[in-house]
Amino acid sequence: MDFSLIVRSAAFLGAGICMGIGALGPGIGQGFVAGKACEGIARSPENSALLTRTMLLGQAVAESTGIYSLVIALLLIFTTG
Amino acid sequence: MIDSIELVQIAAYLGAAISVSFASLSAGYGEGYTAGLANFALMRQPKTSDQLSRTMLVSQAVTETGAIFSLVISLLLLFGGLDVEGGIVKAAALLAGGIAMGLGSVGPGFGSGYAGGYACSALSRMPTKGNEIMGNMLIGQALSQASSIFALVVALLLLYAIPEFSHLTLNQQIMRSVSYLGAGLCIGFGTFGPGTAIGFVAGKASDMIGRYPRERTTIMRTMFVGAAVTESTAIYSLVIAFLLMYAL
Amino acid sequence: MMSKKTFFRLLLFFIVIQAILSFGIDYKLNIGLHPDTGKFSIWNSEYPMTIQDRIMEEFQPDEYFKAKGVTPTIYGSERLHGFFATFFGEKTLYAFELIRMLIIVNIVLLIIVYLVRKSIALIPTKKQIVFEMMYSFFEDLTRETLGKDKTHFTSYVLTIFIFIWSCNLIGLIPIPGFMEPTRNINVPFGMGILVVGVVHFMSLKHKGLTKYLKGYAEPFLPMAPINVVGELSKGISISFRLFGNVLGGAIILLVISSLVRFIILPVGLNMFFGLFIGTLQAFVFTMLAMSYIAVEIFD
């Protein structure tokens, strides 16, 4: 029996699960950042530029794990088998 | 066994159950959250009962969108005439469609409920700005439900756009079916986080518009940018799901 | 703010246009002289392609033509095909639709520039007011984000916004073959590389070489690879966000309108994904392009 296709199928399942669960954490984290930033801007509107900048920086850092998942999923899809 | 029609039927019925059960879980929680906060708001400001109940009902209707999508998918799985010969690939695609829609509507349900609840509580605090708050709530919920639309599309493609694979060998069939399952799991879990969190953003924004209505434009701008950035991981999941379905 | 009446009129206009076009370019429903009976009638004809074929043709034309062995008909005529083959080379031919749409976007932008420039007066006309409002909005945004001495960045920011915005909106025009250029990964990725390049140039200019290099060893030296990955992820995230949103909207429209047999194109979904998400993503792209620079400058 030829197992290479089975290995490949495991890679595809792995890619799906990797991106799916990997998107869970960054999504929640980024949303939390954005919600708190809305709150902060409402409370002290004179600092809105600083708050927006900090929000985007924090979201970019939170998203990096999502990017890792994306890269790993793409690697699993295109380089195995 | 592996080519039998019973396998496809098992998958279809299982998918239907998964789809509607997960969706009703989150939609029920979300709508209950909205209604609870709306009742609390009514206690604080009994004069605005008309406006409050209208906002609550609209918000609950939007929250239910994901559950209605799931109901459609599960009805299609049960009565759509999909349980035809097709072997293991068809079975896996139907199951994956159910999983995708079921898990995919969990996050938007939670998120929309949160957004609606905080909009109600903001409305009781600032009844004169009711239209602004409701508009903000609807935009936020639409952004949140966009992830359930992604899940719906992936589910529909898995239900209807699967070609015949009966000429392939068993191993190739297994590979195809596992990649469809992967696509369903990917979009299902991937929309959970963004859907919930965009609702959180919209709820906070509505709350703050109720407290500081003068800063409305700035708050809404921040909400748009934050929500769009939050959605990016759902988009990555969508891209990966399409790759798993079509680019092999 | 648009009044309600105008909005509903616009919506009705779009519905009528889409209904007419969905009858005109329909693949399932035909109007005219029936080929068998010769009478004027409305009848259904089988559309030869499955939805999978349609998706493949729309999003991977080269793969589709390779797999089906069909000669591409998107060029219109043989002469045009030959012209493009000699002008751009055989390999880029399959990106013909993308290049055509980019050229159309550029021509539209040039026409707008010409019209606006022509109508500039001391007492502003309507067109002038719209564009001045847009410019002053982005000038305020730039001043707020980058500081008072960096307002000359407004033109860069506004150019990015207007280009991506018109790229996203041109897919709304219901002409067969029209697509958003941002639906192809190459366009957002090119814009992302441009943005990241400008960010690093500004960082180098502002900090100097040693400080710039020191920034990579931020907490301590072994963290350098993670910092490099973080820098790369900026470009990936900014471009994939735009690409995925536009592509997802396009596929959703295709799937839903094929489910209703192309008789009704879903107007509401088209509005949501075309107008709302298109504008929002263009704005987010510009905001991010600006904020990345701001982070480097103010550190």
Give, rounded to a whole angstrom, the gap between the first and last alpha carbons of chain C: 38
Dist. CA B117–CA B129, nearest whole Å:
16
pLDDT digits (tens, 9 = 90+) for B163-196: 777 777 888 888 888 999 999 999 999 999 999 9
CA distances from residue A39 to A55, B136, B210 in whole angstroms, order as listed: 12, 15, 11
Dist. CA C165–CA C181, nearest whole Å:
11
ipTM value, please give it: 0.89
Q: Which two tokens stand for residue C109?
A: 């932008």
The range of the structural domain enclosing residue A37 comes to 33-81
Where are the strands (E) in B152-223, listed by range? Answer: none
Residue A24 domain-assigned (yes or no): no
What's C148-213 look like in SS3? Answer: HHHHHHHHHHHHHHHHHHHHHHHHHCCCCCCCCHHHCCHHHHHHHHHHHHHHHHHHHHHHCHHHHH
Give, rounded to a whole angstrom, the gap between the first and last alpha carbons of chain A: 16
Number of domains present in the structure of chain A: 1
State the sign of the Cα–Cα–Cα–Cα dihedral B46, B47, B50, B52: negative
Give the pLDDT of residue A78. Answer: 84
pLDDT digits (tens, 9 = 90+) for C34-69: 666 766 665 555 555 566 666 666 666 666 666 666
Residue A23 domain-assigned (yes or no): no
CA distances from residue C289 to B95, B122, C161 in whole angstroms, order as listed: 42, 33, 10
CATH code of the domain in which A63 resides: 1.20.20.10
pLDDT digits (tens, 9 = 90+) for B16-41: 999 999 999 999 999 999 999 999 99
CB proximity under 8 Å: A 10-69 to B: 10, 12-17, 19-39, 41-43, 45, 48, 51-52, 55-56, 59, 63, 66, 69
CA distances from residue B230 to A17, A58, B191, B196, C256 in whole angstroms, order as listed: 19, 11, 11, 10, 25
Give chain B's domains with CATH numbers.
Answer: 4-246 (1.20.120.610)
**Given B161, B225, B231, which is nearest C52 (Cβ)?**
B161
pLDDT digits (tens, 9 = 90+) for C145-203: 888 888 889 999 999 999 999 999 988 876 666 788 888 888 999 999 999 999 999 99
Angle at B25 between CA B21 and CA B31, to 5 degrees: 135
Residue A19 domain-assigned (yes or no): no
CB proximity under 8 Å: B 212-241 to C: 224-225, 228-229, 231-232, 235-236, 238-239
What pTM was computed for the model? Answer: 0.81
CB proximity under 8 Å: B 88-117 to A: 107
Residue A17 domain-assigned (yes or no): no
Q: How many Å is the maximal CA-CA distance in chain B?
A: 70
State the sign of the Cα–Cα–Cα–Cα dihedral C46, C52, C58, C63: negative
Dist. CA A26–CA C174, nearest whole Å:
37
Task: Find out whether B147 and B65 touch, Cβ atoms under 8 Å.
Answer: no
Q: Which two tokens stand for residue B114?
A: 């949160």
Q: Is B161 at the interface with chain C, CB within 8 A?
A: yes
Task: Find out whether B175 and A9 touch, Cβ atoms under 8 Å.
Answer: yes
Give, rounded to a whole angstrom, the gap between the first and last alpha carbons of chain B: 27
Q: Tell me whether residues A64 and C229 touch, CB distance under 8 A.
A: yes
Residue A76 domain-assigned (yes or no): yes
